[in-house]
Amino acid sequence: MLAGKKVLLAVCGSIAAYKTAFFVRLLKKEAAEVKVIMTENAKEFITPLTLSTLSKNPVYSNYFERGSGEWHNHVELGLWADLMIVAPLSANTLGKMANGLCDSLLLAVYFSAKCPVIVAPAMDLDMYQHPSTQSNLEKLTSYGNEVIEAKRGELASGLSGQGRMAEPEELLEIVRKKITANNLLKGKKVLITSGPTYEAIDPVRFIGNHSSGRMGVAIAKVFKEYGANVTVISGPANHFASEVENIHVESAKEMLDEAKKRYDNADIVIFAAAVSDYRPSKPSDQKLKKKNGVDSLAIEFIKNPDIAAEMGTKKGNQIHIGFALETQNEESNAKQKLKEKNFDLIVLNSLNDRGAAFQGATNKVTFFDKNNKEVKFELKSKIEVAKDIANHVIENFL
Ligand code: C5P
């Protein structure tokens, strides 16, 4: 299953590093290509010679070799890999990955990798339970990385509790699953609208909304990870997925134009943008001036195009997924939109649910699909919601 797949193993300083020798053996038995990066501390626990002999490749630790001056390009290593697994992941490297610190080759590769990343933490139980460690692990999950929870049992300190790295056999199983997932949407072209739209009032002001673009980014990351070819048409959001093609727009009209250009080529279209329903009918060419003695200002609005509805009328074999953000009559409004906009699936999130708001990292959704299937989910990270969407598409529409 792993024949020819390129696995980048990143090893941190932890006693669990001794298990990586067995893990590399298992990967090689499956005919995977393996390259290993180690932090300086990792070398105290297992030698580079062991891992280079087993992986049949040089082991990388530094940006360049002292002496020969040979340069190890972190971007190339990140692009080479089909999958990166950090095992064992120490609290120190975890903190840096979660917060953007970059003082080793391992971290530079992590920040430049475009492939799926799995991490297998290993540390003493109190370190593992610390709120800082737990919040850093949550951050990695929100970045789209998969966290293999530490196991319970005897620890090197002599204490007993949660902190042991998963065994090599389990790591292999998870790598296998991830690589298979990578093929589930291979060759599919996915078009996503994301973020808010800004509608000009004058050259310096606009009317917009609070959409952060996070849901669209999560969907882009997950569909990309499943092997799809992803394009995101995004309004002025705070979040972007660096792994995919991004088209930047401002207004609903621009978003529609860009969507139209790409629609015929798309297999799956996901309307995750929070599009302004109306726009100022006559945006001013010049900045509107405050007028003495005039205490109110009226702006006339006209209706914007409904991108999802318009694409819905052109629909061929495409699969359409829409969102509904409702504050009342949620279910009936969502079901009505499913029909009216010709969606195959609508994802309802309610502003009444805590954690399901615009800016956050979590969402609580219910699916309604064209086959009258209804699935209610618990509050979860937007990445997990995006996985549920991808799995629903794969299981029901492909
Ligand atoms: O009608 P409502 O705005 O609630 O519909 C939400 C769904 O329709 C979302 O999927 C949104 O991206 C899409 N939509 C759109 N163009 C609009 C308004 C909504 O694509 N002008």
pLDDT digits over 211-232, tens only?
Answer: 999 999 999 999 998 999 999 9
What does DSSP say about strands 6-11 and 83-89: parallel, antiparallel, or unpaired?
A: parallel
Model confidence at 156, in pLDDT bands (50, 70, 90)? Answer: confident
**pLDDT tens readout for residues 272-303:** 999 999 999 999 999 999 999 999 999 999 99
Nearest to 40 by CA among 60, 68, 64, 19: 60
What ligand 1 atom has the least distance to the C-alpha of 277?
A: 21
DSSP state of 71: B
Residues having CB within 6 Å of any atom of ligand 1: 193, 252, 271, 273, 275, 277, 304, 306-308, 322-324, 337, 341
> Stretch 248-252: mean pLDDT, rounded?
98
Q: What pLDDT does 114 receive?
A: 86
Please identify, by atom number, the ligand 1 atom nearest to the C-alpha of residue 321: 10
Residues 194/213, Cβ–Cβ less than 8 Å: yes
In this prediction, residues 225-240 reach a mean pLDDT of 94
What is the spatial distance between Cα 172 and Cα 182, in angstroms, rounded to a whole number? 15
C-alpha distances (whole Å) from 388 to each of 202, 244, 316, 375 are: 41, 20, 24, 10
Tell which one of 306, 318, 358 to mutate to probe ligand 1, the residue whose CB is within 8 A of the most ligand atoms: 306
Q: Which residue of the set 209, 333, 391, 396 is catalytic?
A: 209
User: How far is the centre of ligand 1, averaged over its atoms, from the C-alpha of 1 (Å)?
Assistant: 41
Confidence of residue 71 (pLDDT cuts 50, 70, 90): confident
Centre of ligand 1 from the C-alpha of residue 256, in Å = 12
Ligand 1: residue whose CA is nearest its atom 5: 324
3-state SS, residue 39: coil
Residue-level pLDDT at 144: 87
Q: Are 37 and 11 in contact (CB under 8 A)?
A: yes
Alpha carbon nearest to ligand 1 atom 4, residue? 324
Using one digit for the tens of pLDDT, what is the confidence trace for 348-383?
987 766 666 566 778 889 999 999 999 999 988 899
Helix (H) or strand (E) holding 227: none
pLDDT for the residue 356: 61
Burial of 43 (0-12, 13-18, 19+ CB in 10 A): middle
pLDDT at 159: 85
The rounded distance, in Å, linking the Cα atoms of 329 and 350 is 10
What pLDDT does 35 receive?
97
Task: State the closest ligand 1 atom to the C-alpha of 252, by its place in the atom list counted from 1.
Answer: 21
pLDDT at 206 (0 to 100): 98
Residue 343 scores a pLDDT above 80 = yes
Provide mean pLDDT across the span 86-91: 98
Q: How far is the CA of 258 from the centre of ligand 1 (A)?
A: 16
pLDDT score recorded for residue 354 = 67
DSSP result, 144-175: TPEE-PPEEEE-TTS-EEEEEPPPHHHHHHHH
Give residue 307 CA to ligand 1 midpoint distance, Å.
7
Could you report the per-residue pLDDT of 119-151, keeping only the tens digit for each? 999 999 999 999 999 999 999 998 889 999 999
The closest-lying atom of ligand 1 relative to the alpha carbon of residue 276 is 21
Q: What is the DSSP letter of 351?
A: T
Q: Which residue is it, tokens 């978003």?
A: 255
Contact 147, 384 (CB under 8 A): no
Q: Where are the alpha helices (DSSP H) in 199-316?
A: 214-225, 252-263, 307-314
Cα–Cα distance for residue pair 318/260, rounded to 1 Å: 13
Q: How many Å lie between the centroid of ligand 1 and the Cα of residue 275?
A: 6
pLDDT score recorded for residue 358: 61
The pLDDT value recorded for residue 352 is 67
- Residue 209 a catalytic site member: yes
Average pLDDT taken over every residue of the chain = 94
State the virtual CA torsion across 132, 138, 144, 147 in degrees, nearest 10. 90
Please return the burial class of 236, using the count of CB atoms within 10 Å of its CB with bins 0-12, 13-18 and 19+.
Answer: middle
pLDDT confidence band for 70 (50 / 70 / 90): confident
pLDDT single digits (tens) 164-217? 999 999 999 999 999 988 789 999 999 999 999 999 999 999 999 999 999 999
Q: For ligand 1, pick from 270, 321, 341, 365 the residue to mutate: most ligand atoms within 8 Å of CB.
A: 341
State how far the alpha carbon of 387 is from the alpha carbons of 223, 382, 384, in Å. Answer: 8, 9, 5
Choose among 107, 93, 118, 245: nearest CA to 170.
Answer: 118
One-letter-per-residue 3-state SS of 108-137? HHHHHCCCCEEEEECCCHHHHHCHHHHHHH
pLDDT at 158 over 80: yes
What pLDDT does residue 355 have? 63
Give the pLDDT band of residue 84 (cuts 50, 70, 90): very high
